Structure formats: C-alpha cells, structure tokens
Structure 1
Amino acid sequence: MTPAVQAMQRSDAQNPAMLWVAQGSELWKASPGPHRPACAACHTGGMAGVSARYPAFSDELKRPVTLPQQINHCRTTRQDQPAWRHDSEALLSLAAYLGQQSRGRPIQPPQDPRLVPWQQAGEALYRLRMGQLNLSCAQCHEERAGLKLAGAVIPSGLATGYPIYRLEWQGMGSLPRRLLNCTTGVRAAPLSEDELTQVELYLMQRGRGLAVETPAVRP
C-alpha cells in the first residue's frame, strides 16, 4: 500500500468503503418485510468483536460458516427472506458494517477442534500448485511477498480487511472474489464454496493476533 492508500483507509471521511458501511447500518436497523424482525431486534448487545471470530462452526448447519454465510443463514431462517447472492451490494454492506465494529481488534479464530480438518484442508490448498502456471498461493504470498509482479507489489496474503474496497474494482468485494481472481490468474479451475471456506479458515488462523482492518482499501 502506498502512503496515499494507507491514508485513504485510515480516514473515514476519505475511505470509499464507508458508503457501504453506512448502507449496512441501515440494513441492520430495518425490518426486511412485514412482521419480520430487523437484525438489531435480535442482536441487542452490539456486534463488536464478532467478525474477528469468523469463520466459525455452525451447530445448526453442522459445518464452518463465514460471516456472509451466517448473515444469509439468519436471513433465510430468522427473517424468512431469500438469501442475498454472493458479492451483492446488500451482503457486502452488512458484512462491512459488522466488520467495522471489530476494527482494531485482534483476529481470534475459535479454538474449536471441529474446525481443524477444514483449516488443514485450507492450508493444503494454499500450498498446492495449481493451474496452467503451476503456482501456489504460498509461492507468491510467502516466498515472493514484497517483490513485484507486472509492476505491482506482491502482498503477504493476509486477509485482515474484508470485505474491502479495491481501487482496481472501483467497488467493494469479498475474500472469495479475491481468491477466485487468483485462481483465474494462474489459469486454474475455480475453487468450490467449501474450498473457499477452507482457505478462509486457514488465512484467519495465519492472521491470528493481527488487527481487523475492515473496511480496508487496497490498490
């Protein structure tokens, strides 16, 4: 990140992602339909620190879920509404609003043995050479972090600020969108939803103790 991008992220007045946070705040307080509870009606104690603990294991679904997946689960089961599509403005906005409430808090993945097989599978995918270019995530984001690829600095692959505003996208995007961009870049088959969750679990474990930056800004 250049100093200008860092400054943009630090200032709520300049950070374009705050537009999505504001929309998420309205969605949080609004009833989604007649006689349907708003999110705020159930979650009265505030959500500070919640996004720092996701993905987490869902007792209802019997599997790990990401924060956007949990939002959609609440939406379909508690509010009787259709799930939002992946990377929709509404889902990104609500996830950004919840993430912003954990900003500055350390990432603390749950110490849940049920998550371990998924985390291990996520690390295996992270280190797996894939696609026609035969590259792994680790080769770029560990071995070559700080070097340049096509003029851009290779980051260290720490997912501390999602959903993020990317200047390249001119909008907000999720971690799965970024991961799928990478698999496309190495000309590999897209990861499945389960595989995306596995990689996210590993990345959160890898980032344990780092501060939540949501909503982050990236080039």
Structure 2
Amino acid sequence: MRRLLLALLLAGVVAEARESGFVLMSPETQAMQRDDTANPGMLWVEEGRALWDSAGCAGCHGDVAGMRGVAARYPAFDAASGGPIDLAGRIAQCQEARQGRTPFPRESEEALALSALVGLQSRGMPVAPPEDPRLAPALARGDALYRQRRGQLDLSCAQCHDANAGRHLGSSPIPEAHPTGYPLYRLEWQGMGSLQRRLRNCMAGVRSEPYAYGAAEYIEIELFLMRRAAGMPLETPAVRP
C-alpha cells in the first residue's frame, strides 16, 4: 500500500479531496488572513522588501515580482549537495555563494522575512513540485519519516493528520497538515515561523527529540508534504491559531 501511495505521489496524482487548515479556523481568523491590512504576517513581508534591496537580492534578481512561481516549486534538487533544498536554504545559499554574505540564521526574523516575501509572489498559485527523478530517494525517505512512530507517545504524523484529520485533540481541530502557508503567523507564537518550527513543535509534543533546524530530515518531510499538497493554492503568509 505504501508503495502504491508513493507511486501516485511521484506521478503527481492526488485522488482524495484535500483541505487547508484555513477551513478549520474561526471566521475571525480567516478574515485576518484574507485582509492584508490585518494579516500580521505582512509586517514580515514588508521587512523582506527592505532586505531585498539592502541584502543585495535585487542586484541579481531584479524586482521581487520576478519570483512569481518560485515558492511553488520548492523543495527542489540542489546539484551542490546532491539532494533537496528548501526555499530558505536556497536563499541562504544565494547570500553566501553569490553575494559573499554570511547567511541569515534559520528562523531569524530576516530569514523569515525574505522567505515570506518570496512566498507572497506565488500566493494563489498551485503547489507544483518538480518532476525530478533525482528527488525520488529523498521523497521516499520523507514518506517514511511521515509514517514513522516516534517519541514516548509512539505516534506518527500520519496517525494524526491522515487517520484523525478533522477530529479534535483537546479543543484544537486536527488539520490535514498541508504546508501551503509557510512561513506563517501563528497566534500561539505571536510571531512568524517556518514549517520546520511547526515540525519541531509536533515532535516535542509526542516527546521526541527534534532535529536541528536545517536538518535533511525536515527537508525530506517537506518534500513529501509538498508533493502530497500538489495542486493546492499557496497562502503565504498564512495565519493560524
């Protein structure tokens, strides 16, 4: 069964109806995401606009509007590492290799701001993972990691987000875990965060030791999740409870 699912994912075929976590939010939180003047994530986007010029991004890429569609295609294959790289990793790589700058640390305000700015350019576009056979081994590892039981609670991502999606854990609805809005503003955090931050929270929640930021495992899980979300519209910067 797992091999069949992976084959369907590799082919870009998604049979079941899927829903973003947006549909599980209160009308008030949905309205906050819809209105750019009320969406707190737009503060990071505006910081990203300033950094686009001051950090030297515009010198290579021109106007950020030229990044339309880019976020929808990540993670992508990286020839330098021989594996997948996420959007935040590509931005850091660009800073270091092309601009000779020390990259902003992962999960820093600056890194999130640039990721949010680039992500915004693809808002509303469908997730379009690259059809690159070189990604197949990493995609398979991401699939396995998603289904791997972990921690003292001996739970996997799939047990919550596949088997129990739409139900409640305490008072909180369980989403299908489609990563269509990252980086996003989470009311619980009172700030922006990446998908890796959310994955770390989940791992800590099942009493498992999280990987370090930037770990290959996180990027492989994201690769799987983005393939699983293929065709769904991007929401960056989304808002979540």
TM range (shorter): over 0.9
1:41 paired residue number: 59
Amino acid at match of 1:194: A
| TM-score computed with the length of structure 1 as normaliser | 0.95
Q: Aligned pairs, how many? A: 213
For 2:52 and 2:135, locate their aligned partners in 1 and report how far apart those are by CA, in whole Å. Answer: 28
SS of match in other structure, 1:143: coil
1:164 counterpart residue number: 184
State TM-score, norm by structure 2: 0.86
1:130 to 133, 147, 150: 150
Out of 169-178 and 41-50, give the one that drifted further.
41-50
Q: Aligned with 2:29: secondary structure? A: helix
- SS at 1:172's partner residue? strand
Is contact 2:83-2:138 (8 Å) kept? no
Distance 2:29 2:135 in 1: 34
RMSD of aligned alpha carbons:
1.0
Q: CA deviation at 1:62?
A: 2.2
Segments ≥4 residues shifted beyond 3 Å: none
SS in 2 for 1:117: helix
Pairing of 1:46-85 with structure 2 (within 5 A): 46-85=66-105
- What are the Cα deviations for residues 162-216 of structure 1, in whole angstroms up to 9, with x where unaligned? 0000000000000001001000000112135010011000000000000000000
Question: Which residue of 1 is the match for residue 230 of structure 2?
Answer: 208
Report whether the alignment pairs 1:191 with 2:211: yes
> Match for residue 112 of structure 2?
92
Counterpart Cα distance in 1 of 2:71 and 2:171: 33
Counterpart in 2 of 1:24? 48
Structure 1: how far apart are the matches of 2:170 and 2:146? Answer: 22
Work out which of the residue numbers 170, 173, 191 in structure 2 matches 1:153: 173
How many angstroms apart in 1 are the aligned matches of 2:26 and 2:148?
Answer: 30
Task: Give ranges in structure 2 of 5+ residues lacking alignment.
Answer: 1-24
